[in-house]
Every structure is written in C-alpha cells, then in structure tokens.
Structure 1
C-alpha cells in the first residue's frame, strides 16, 4: 500500500490557512477568543435571553418596591470681591477667592455646626414631617444631635465644575421636607457667615483697643527719653546734621584765617620797617621833618666848620642843635619800629587765642556728635513707636467704622424648590444595572451549559483534540432553510446532494473527495472507509452522499455496505432481499450479479442483506482483502460504509483494509472521550485515519464560527449577482 496513505499529522495538513487571531499575546497565543464567545452566545441565546429577561423583570419589580427619594438643591455663589465697605491701605488689596477656598467652604457646609444651626433655626427636631421622613420608626420629637445626624446623612455638597458656585442638595422621602431642609441649611450657612464676621470684628476691635493702650504708653516713654537725653547732652536742636559747636567752629576757622592773614601782614610790615629806612619811618612826617632839620644842621655845621673853629660858639651851638636833632630822629625812628613789633605781638596773640578756641570747639563738637548718635537712636525708636501706634489707630478707626456692615461671603442664587419627580431610584440606572447583572448571569449560565457539553464544537478544537485534520464540516441541512429537505427520510441527505448540486452542503461533500485528490494525479486513496465512534453520528448518510457526489463528478464509484449489524446503506437505498457482500464472500453469488446501479447518481452499490453472527470472521478473511483489491482496480473510488469503531470489532478490521479511513464525528454531540477511544482503537488496529468529518453542523452557529459552509452560503446566495 502506498506511503501516501500513511497517517498525516495535523501540522502537515493545516498549511497557511491557520492565521493568528488579531487578539494574540506575545507568544502568538490567543488572549481573547472572540469567535468562541460569539459561538457561545449564539448557541445558548435563548437561555441567555431568558436569564436577561428574568433579571430585567426582577429589577423592574425592585424598582417598583423601592422607596422613592426626592432631591432638592440650593445653589450658592461665593463673592470674589472684598467685603470691606471702608477701604484703607491695609485692606485695599486683592482678596479674590481661590479654588482651595471654595473647597474649604464645601467642607464648612458639611460640618456639624452648620447642620446643628439649621436644626435649631428651623426647629427640625420637632417638625413632624421631618421626623416622619428621616426617622419613621421614632414617635415624638428628636434630640438635636439625632436630628443633626439625619440632616448630615442626607446632605450632599459639591462644587459645580471649576466655578465659584456650590450646589447643596438634600435627599428625603418627602419632597417638601427636602426643599425646606436644603433652604434651612443654606440660610444657616449664610447667617453663620455673618455672625462669624461680626464676632471676628468684635474680637479685632477689643484686641486693637488693648494694643493701642500699650502702644500709647510706648510712644510717651520713647518721646520722654528723647527729651531727657537732649537736655542732658545740651543738644537744644539738631538741624541738617549741624550743632552749635559746628557753627562756632566754622566761625572760628574763618576768624583764624583772618588773624593769620593780619599776622602775616604785621610781620611783613615789621620786616619792611626794620632800620631807619623802613616804610613806617619814611612815611612819618615827624621823622621826615627831623631828617630835614638834621640835614639842614649838618649843612650849616659844615659851612661853619669851614669858617669857624671848633670852639666857635655858633659852631658849638649848631653842633649841639645837630646832636639834639639826631637824638630826636633816633627816638622817633625807634618809636615807629616798636609800634610795628607791637602789632605782630597782638596779631600772634589773637591767632593763638583763636586756635585755642577752635580746639575747645572741636572737643565740644566731638562730644556733641557722640551724643547725637544716641539721640538719633532714641528718636528712631520714638518714631517707630509713633508709626506703629498710628497704624493700629487707623485700623481701629476702620474696624469701628465698619462695625455692623458685615456680609456673608456667599449668597444664595437659587433657592430649593419642591421637587416634582423622585431622584432615586433611577429607572434607567436600575434597568441598566439589571441588564448588566442579567448579561453576567447569562454568560455564567452559558459557560456552565458549555462546560456540561462534552462534544467537539469547532474545526480548530477538533483538530487540536484529535490531532487530525478536519477534512470537511457537513452542515445540518435543516438549519439551511431548505423547504424541500426531507429530514425524516433515510435518503433525505443523499437525495439532497443529487437535487441541490450547488448547495453549500454539496460543496462540503465535494471538499472530502477533493482533499483526497480523487480523479487527479497523486490521488491519495482508491478505497476509503467511513466510520464513526458510535451509532447515530451520520456516517451512513455521509458515505452515500460522498459516493453519489463522486459519481456525479464523473468518477467510477462503488459504495460497499460493510455495516453487518445495521446495514444502513442497504436499507436507505431500498436494496433489501437481494444477495450482497456476504453471498459474494461465501461464493454463493458473483460480484457482477449483486452490484446495483444507483440511478440517481450513477454510482454502483454493493448491498449487505445477511446479518453475520457466527460467520462474522469472514470479514477478516483473505477473500475480503482480495475483493477490495479487485475493487481498487475496477473503480476510481471505493467507499466503504463501516460500522462504528467502538461497539463493532470487525469494523476496525475492515478499516485496516481500506487505503484511508475517514472518522465521522457529530458536531457538539459525540463526547470527547468517545472520539478519543475510537481513534485509539483504530490506531491500535492499524487503520490509517486520514481526517475527521464533522456532521450536522448548525449553519447559524457555524456562520458565527466562520466555518467554511458560512462562506459557501454567502457565495451561493449571491451566485446570480454580477461580481
């Protein structure tokens, strides 16, 4: 037998058709099998829809029984401007409200203080409607803490987006109570803001008053210290960094310069008047007259000396007069020179006195400067005390002026109205939740039903489990909306192949012998056995349909009924009470006499009309193998309808005599362990299994699964349309 008929592994048969899923992991494995999910939903759609319907009905009932809640909402807006009516340098600044401030006010609205104030102001703890809505099990008035707890548990506060508006909502069974409580909380918050502003202002005024008293004493002490130090340091006044000593020193320096100039002049005059030719001597009229007299007497004495003798009375007289005149001149010159020297002494003394006064003034100036440093420090302290005192005094006046003008930092821009419709339960939310719960329950139910199924459902699953290629998937014709299909007729399926040659079912049958290359070069087998694991999987209908399809294609085909227990092919074709396979093997009939022509397709049929009991071993004989060899020589294709492999032992023996064996598996029905057992028995017997044929596949589910018949239907339903 040809090596081409040996077992072919799936990995060699799949080729390039097994494209990876778009939803695959790094290693190529599927993360989410969408096709399996779609198949799951389609197969169990009615059960899933029933579960979803029950969930929606239960949700609707729960909605009808749920307690209705009403929401009332108040909208408050924070004032972004300064609240001061009297603005000063200290208050005239940007006080715009920022985002954290809005969030802080939201928390203030949720605080117990605001809720307690609302309860007290509106007397909610004694309001029957509030008690009935918030605590229906309690009779009589509530305590303020209990009423506050109810208010806070039903109160919601939130900022509206990024705006400066705050939404305050209150939920209650009574719509009127919801509106009244929401308004009460808003009023308590606004009035609380005013009261807190007033309280804060009163505290500020008291603090400022106390501080002003302290600062006033500080100013008085600082100014007294300045005055005492000025008096102690003899600093009467200080102007432009000058003191009395500085003014005196400036005057003395001027006088010193003048005195030095006069001294220099005196010294110059003294130098000029030194001797008899000094300027002062020459300029004196007395000295000039005396010099004239001396000159005249000298002339007269010279004249007399030439005339008279030394003892002449006139000469002696003149000599005496000359001596007297010269003495008088000498005295006068000496007097004039001593006057100039006395001027130098006077001027020198004046310079020394001025220099002494300057030294004294400098000493006083240095002492005054040292005293000014301390004085300036005391004056700065006094000035800062005065400024601080003035600042607090101005702030104190502002606070007094603005007392009673306090406003709330927030205002109500929309008061709560009595709601007309309940806010909860929300029918849409309820139904959406019920739908989600129903879908989850439906999926769980479908998965549970799927888990209970033991059959093979897809080509990929079948190939992965069995290790063999799925040669073809034969659709359930009853799911193909074919009105002329005879479901309960034994020849319903084979006749459908003949009557509807272009149908998806016929194409699926043709795929079987196409895979075997029947009638082509390199044909894989001349004889093919068709078997199944257990009865009821459609192996006889498949065998007849395969034989008829091959014969209709012009191939000389023989169909042999080898099921010695049920004789399905013989019964389906109406060939009872005729000699057949057993008679040929026993030598009671010739092959030419027992082979029947199937007029519908042109195929030849070898029936089986004798149930073997003790003679069942005849199927294991050499005669059977020889007969099958003869068939291979005379026909293009031989189809053996073999009994199920598990319950009938001789079925496995006949399968070994065929070139290849096709295993029929009913879609979603044949259990996995049964298929596994049948394949193991056939392998053990030596049968060469070519592949698997899935039968009675639901075309509606297969369309979801992208099986080939879905594409067949798509194509054939459009075959009349131009491409």
Structure 2
C-alpha cells in the first residue's frame, strides 16, 4: 500500500511566561489586566463569596461579644456679649467672646476643678450606678479625688467647628450613667460660673464702696482749694473780668487803627501841600489872585525891560510892585501850609494817647491771665476728681442694680439623653471592616489558587505557551443552562450535539472540521488523530462529537477506536462483541464486517473487540498505516481516537500515521508541564500537530474572558431557528 501521507510543517512549541497580571509578555502588556481579574473573580466566585460571608459572620459574632460603650452628648453655647440689665460701653467692650475664648472654655471644662465640682454637686462618689459602671468589683464609696479621675477619664470636650458651640461627651458602659455624668459636668460648669460671677460682683461692690469714700474726700478738697484761691486773688468771676478787659482792649485797638489812619491821611495832606504847588495852596482864591498879579507884573516888567532903562520910574515902580506881590504870595502860601501841619500834630497826639490806653488795658489783662492760670489748674483738678468720682459712682450703681441677675456665659442648649445605641463598637465599622478583610482574604485566596493552578485558561494563553493555534474551544454543556443535558452518561455529549445542532456547542465542533476544510476543495487532511496529554481530558467525547457533526453535515466519516486500554469509543457506543480494529489488522475480519453504523448520525465506527484487544504492537505497525490509506478512498474524514500521548507509547506512533493530530487540552486542568511534555513526545514521533482543542470550557467564565463561544451563545440566543438538514 502507498503510505504516502501529506505532512504539514508544525510550529515548534515554546513557553511564554505569563506576566503578574495574567497577560503574556508576547502580547501587549498591561499594568492591570481587567479581563484577567474579572475571570479570576468569576472562576472563584463561590469560594470567595463563602470566605467573605464567613469573615463577615465572624466579625458580627465578635461585635456581639465586644464590650459596649455608650456616649451621651451635651451641647453648650457661649454668649457672645455680656448679659447685663444695665449696660455700659466699657462692659460690652471687655466681655465679647472671641475664638480663643471658646478654646479656653474647652480647657476649663476639661479641668480637674469642674470634674471635682460635678462629683461634689451630684455625689457621684457615692452613687451606686456610677460605682457599678466604673468600678464593678467594689460597692464602697470612693474618695472625691478618685471619682474625679474616673469622671475625667471618660470625658471629652471639643469645639463644634468654628462656631461658639461646645460639645461635651461622656462615655460609659452604662447608658444611664453616661447621660447622668455628662449632665452633671455641664451643670457644674454652668453653676460654677454663676457662683463665681456672684462672688466677683460682691467683691466689686465692696471695692467700689471703699474707693467712692476716698474719691468723695478728694473732690471736696479740690473744690475747697478753688474757692480759697478765688477769694485770695479777689477773683469773683475771672471769666467775666477776662471778657471786660478783652472787650476794652479790642475797642482801643479799633480806635488806634482809626487814629493811625487819620494820622496817615494828615501826613499825606501835609506832604501833598508842601511848597507852592500844594493842593491847599492851589485851591486858595487869594493865592490865585496873587499869582495872577505876579504874572501880570512879570509880563509888564519884561516889556519895560526891553524898552526902558533900569532907572526909569515906571520900571522901578513895576519892580517894586512885583516884589511886593511876590512877598504877599509867599506869605499867603506859608500861612496855608502851616494849617496842614497842625492837623498832623493833632492826629499824632491822638495815636499816642490811644497807645497808652492800650498798654494799660494789656497790663490789667495780663495780670488777670496770670491769676486765671492757677485758678484753672485748681478747677481742672477739681473737675477730674468729680469725673472720677462720678465714674465710680455709676459703676457702683450698676453693680447694685444687677446684683442677683448673674448668669453663666454658657447656656445648655441640649442636655444629654440616655443613648439607645452604643457608640463603640460601631456596627457599621465592624461590617465594613469585616467586609474589607473578607474581600482582601478572598482575593488573596483566589490569587493563591490561581498561583497554584497550572492549567490553560484562555485561547491566547494556550497559543502563546505552545506556539500552536487553538482550533476550537468546546464549552462545558453543563455551564450552558441546557435543562435536557444528561451529564455523566457515555454518549451525553454526542447525543446533545445530535439533538441540538443549533447550539453554540455544535457550532464549536463544526469549527474543527471547517478549519480542516473537510469535504471542501483544498481539504487539508483526511485522517485526523485526537489525543491528549493524560487521560480524562475529553478526547473520546470530542472525537465522537466531531464524527457525528461531520456526518450530520453530509460528510462520509469513520471513527476508529485506537485506545487499546480504555476503548472509550467502543464502550460509549455499547460495542465490542464483534470484530474490531485488531481483527481487521490481523486479517481475521474485513473492514466491512467490523464497521458499525451510528444510527443517530450515519457515521461509521470501527470499534475494538473487548476480548482480543491486547495486541499493542499490531496497532502501531505498517498495517495500520495501510488501513488508513485504504479508508481514504471511501471517507471524507477519518477520526482516530488515540490513547493519551504521555502514558501510552503506541499512541505516539499512531499519531504519527495521521495526516494531522489535534491535541485535546482540558481547560484549566491539563498542567502546563505535562502539555509541554506531550508536545515534545509527539514531535519526536514526527506527528504532524495541527493545533489544540480546548475542552470543557466554562461558558460563563469564557463569556467573561471574551472567548469565541460567548459570541456563539449570544448569536444563538437571539436566533433559535433550526439549521437546515
């Protein structure tokens, strides 16, 4: 027989180390692979949920047995202004509450004195409930100091934000005690402030009364000194004297100014009338006549001078008349000028007299001013004493009027109520903490399981690890929500395929012979061997499903059981009584006599005889290769159900006789080292490994991972129309 079989060059496997996030280094590496994390959580969801639930349950048990602490709250508000019936500007200015004052009051509330007052006022050191809550082992009364320390140990005071409110809290394992002590401390604080204010006001009244007696004497002495000096200086009313002297001086100054003005006017007139061209001289009619006479005589003399001699009587008479006229004119001008000078002298004397009067008035005013300086000083001392006395008197009256109206500068706006729920432990904190611890533990457990797991999880991981392509991923039908699937029966998977040809599982099986182009032009192989690394990986179910799928599609198919030890195909179909593969190879039976037809699909099956199947050497002989070549003429597809490659030696020899070999890998179960060993052994036997087939893939996890069956299931869920036969 011609044993010439077309061989395909197989890729050599290599090992790709996965990254910490589950993404192989061969592809695009991500810092966090969300798909891998999602798949991890989905695969271990029930275990993780159980662990989280258990830890939360333990946390709640711990909460139930934890000691309960109750917290009671009192809210106090500080008044921002002094509460007084009679207010003064000084009082309001000194008593405005500011932010540091609020912080100071917080420290006051935490002081030992407030806690001590609370113990004394409420008698906490002898209170049975307080003693039972704080000192369960004794019922004897405590000292005030010991009770004070116990009160301070559970007390907490803090300011509420930036407001003027103070939150006072007290913790105790007894809810009634927590409310009682919180109210006792608040009452001690408020009551103590009122008592302190009353004591301070009494002290202020006593001090003011003593001071008023002293100031009253000071006022009387100062006023007596003013009266004595006024009498000694003969000053009935220095203010009136000052006014008269100042009025007199003002009048004289006015008259002096007028006299000086007259003097200046007279001097001006005198200057203007000095000589023959003065205004007074020019305005005099006598002087004017005399000047005309002089002019006439001068003109006449000039005429005579030109015609008469010096001794001529007319000329002499004219000269005599001219000299007489001139003398009269000079005399008249002198008389007129002397009258103006007299006015200047009179005005000058009047100015001197007024200036003398001013000097006298100024001297009297200066004397009065010197006396008033000392008097004013004495009056200022007296007025200062009166004002100081009046100020203290006003304060004394205010203190008397407001006696008995003292109140605390803090008001209790919310008294403590008995708490119903404990403040510690907080059930929400316990739940959140337990949930967080449970989640962390669950994730840690999942990671630990994942670390221990050494199987193939995704197509990408399988291809990167082996260097071979994944022909198909067959889902676990039990994870596909198919109610009529009978899990555990020998023919459960092939029967499901025959009755559910429209299912995603059937589509994944069809993808195997479609990839090999079975029955098509350019068919890649006719004999296909299915083997696995170790047993129980689903190779027999895959082989039967593959044969039935191709047969139902009209392909001529033959399934040969080559697993001499387990005979999975033979047992699944209920055969083994008649002749089988060994009998055909031995010549004890013909192929036609040994082949059985599968009624569900029309596929042919060559089983093994259960009583004569220990001839291991004949299966790996050349007769098997010749049989396969003979069958190629009658069948489109010949499937060999081969034993696992690692534990069975003849499996590798039979695999080498097939055109191609499909290595079946169980999802998340087949250890990677064994898978690597199987590939190495098959390559050493010159088997032509065409690719991998992943089996029993969890459909839900695969959907999360984005495997191809997720899209099959989505498609068929929307279109339930049966495929044509």
- Using structure 1 for the length normalisation, give the TM-score: 0.70
Q: Is the 8 A contact 2:469 2:692 kept in 1?
A: yes
CA gap of 1:273–1:223, structure 2 versus 1, over 3 A, is farther
Counterpart residue number, 1:619: 620
Matched, 1:559 2:559: yes
Cα distance in structure 1, aligned partners of 2:651 and 2:365:
142
Cα distance in structure 2, aligned partners of 1:588 and 1:533:
32
Report the count of equivalent residues: 643
Report SS of the residue matched to 1:90: helix
Report SS of the residue matched to 2:646: coil
Alignment of 1:199-598 (within 5 A): 248=249, 251-252=252-253, 254-255=255-256, 257-258=258-259, 261=262, 348-352=348-352, 354=354, 394=394, 398-399=398-399, 401-419=401-419, 425=425, 430=430, 433-480=433-480, 485-576=485-576, 578-582=578-582, 591=591, 594-598=594-598
Counterpart residue number, 1:85: 85
Cα distance in structure 2, aligned partners of 1:590 and 1:56:
69
Q: Is the 8 A contact 2:263 2:348 kept in 1?
A: no
Q: Post-superposition shift, 1:256?
A: 5.9
Report SS of the residue matched to 1:121: helix
Counterpart residue number, 2:32: 31
Alignment of 1:36-55 (within 5 A): 36-37=37-38, 40=41, 43=44, 45=46, 47-55=47-55
Instruction: Give unpaired runs (5+ residues) of structure 2.
Output: 15-20, 23-27, 281-333
CA-to-aligned-CA distance 1:227-247 (integer Å, 9 cap, x gap): 99xx99x9x968999995795
CA gap of 1:492–1:342, structure 2 versus 1, over 3 A, is closer
Cα distance in structure 2, aligned partners of 1:546 and 1:712:
18
CA gap of 1:467–1:365, structure 2 versus 1, over 3 A, is farther
Judge which range, 153-162 or 83-92, deviates more. 153-162
CA-to-aligned-CA distance 1:397-436 (integer Å, 9 cap, x gap): 5455434432112223443344566555565665565455
CA gap of 1:99–1:335, structure 2 versus 1, over 3 A, is closer
Counterpart residue number, 1:113: 113
CA gap of 1:600–1:125, structure 2 versus 1, over 3 A, is same
Q: Post-superposition shift, 1:567?
A: 3.3
Q: Is the 8 A contact 2:578 2:594 kept in 1?
A: yes
Q: Is the 8 A contact 1:76 1:167 kept in 2?
A: yes
Counterpart residue number, 2:287: none
Counterpart residue number, 2:331: none
CA gap of 1:335–1:569, structure 2 versus 1, over 3 A, is closer
Q: Is the 8 A contact 1:662 1:693 kept in 2?
A: yes
Cα distance in structure 2, aligned partners of 1:577 and 1:475:
33
Judge which range, 481-490 or 178-187, deviates more. 481-490
Report SS of the residue matched to 2:89: coil
CA-to-aligned-CA distance 1:346-373 (integer Å, 9 cap, x gap): 6544544555776898999999999999
Counterpart residue number, 1:696: 696
Q: Is the 8 A contact 1:179 1:417 kept in 2?
A: yes
Q: Post-superposition shift, 1:539?
A: 0.8
Q: Is the 8 A contact 1:5 1:659 kept in 2?
A: no
Counterpart residue number, 1:302: none
Judge which range, 246-255 or 201-210, deviates more. 201-210
Cα distance in structure 1, aligned partners of 2:87 and 2:638:
113
Q: Post-superposition shift, 1:518?
A: 3.0
Judge which range, 584-593 or 132-141, deviates more. 584-593
Cα distance in structure 2, aligned partners of 1:222 and 1:395:
23
Report SS of the residue matched to 1:29: coil
Cα distance in structure 2, aligned partners of 1:565 and 1:637:
24
Cα distance in structure 2, aligned partners of 1:438 and 1:274:
136
Cα distance in structure 1, aligned partners of 2:170 and 2:176:
11
Report SS of the residue matched to 1:640: strand
Q: Post-superposition shift, 1:473?
A: 2.9
Q: Post-superposition shift, 1:558?
A: 2.4
Counterpart residue number, 2:314: none
Cα distance in structure 2, aligned partners of 1:193 and 1:32:
67
Cα distance in structure 1, aligned partners of 2:489 and 2:272:
173
Q: Is the 8 A contact 2:474 2:695 kept in 1?
A: yes
Cα distance in structure 2, aligned partners of 1:220 and 1:633:
151
Cα distance in structure 1, aligned partners of 2:32 and 2:377:
86
Cα distance in structure 1, aligned partners of 2:527 and 2:242:
134
CA gap of 1:238–1:403, structure 2 versus 1, over 3 A, is same
Q: Is the 8 A contact 1:252 1:357 kept in 2?
A: no
Cα distance in structure 2, aligned partners of 1:263 and 1:458:
131
Q: Post-superposition shift, 1:190?
A: 0.9
CA-to-aligned-CA distance 1:588-615 (integer Å, 9 cap, x gap): 6655554443333222334445646673
Report SS of the residue matched to 2:560: strand
Q: Is the 8 A contact 1:260 1:351 kept in 2?
A: no
Counterpart residue number, 2:299: none
Matched, 1:599 2:599: yes
Q: Is the 8 A contact 2:248 2:361 kept in 1?
A: no
CA-to-aligned-CA distance 1:640-699 (integer Å, 9 cap, x gap): 222212223343343344343222122332222222322333345444433332223344
CA gap of 1:273–1:642, structure 2 versus 1, over 3 A, is closer
Matched, 1:134 2:130: no
Instruction: Give unpaired runs (5+ residues) of structure 1.
Output: 11-19, 22-26, 280-333
Q: Is the 8 A contact 1:246 1:365 kept in 2?
A: no
- Using structure 2 for the length normalisation, give the TM-score: 0.70
Matched, 1:660 2:660: yes
Counterpart residue number, 1:299: none
CA gap of 1:237–1:41, structure 2 versus 1, over 3 A, is farther
CA gap of 1:116–1:562, structure 2 versus 1, over 3 A, is same
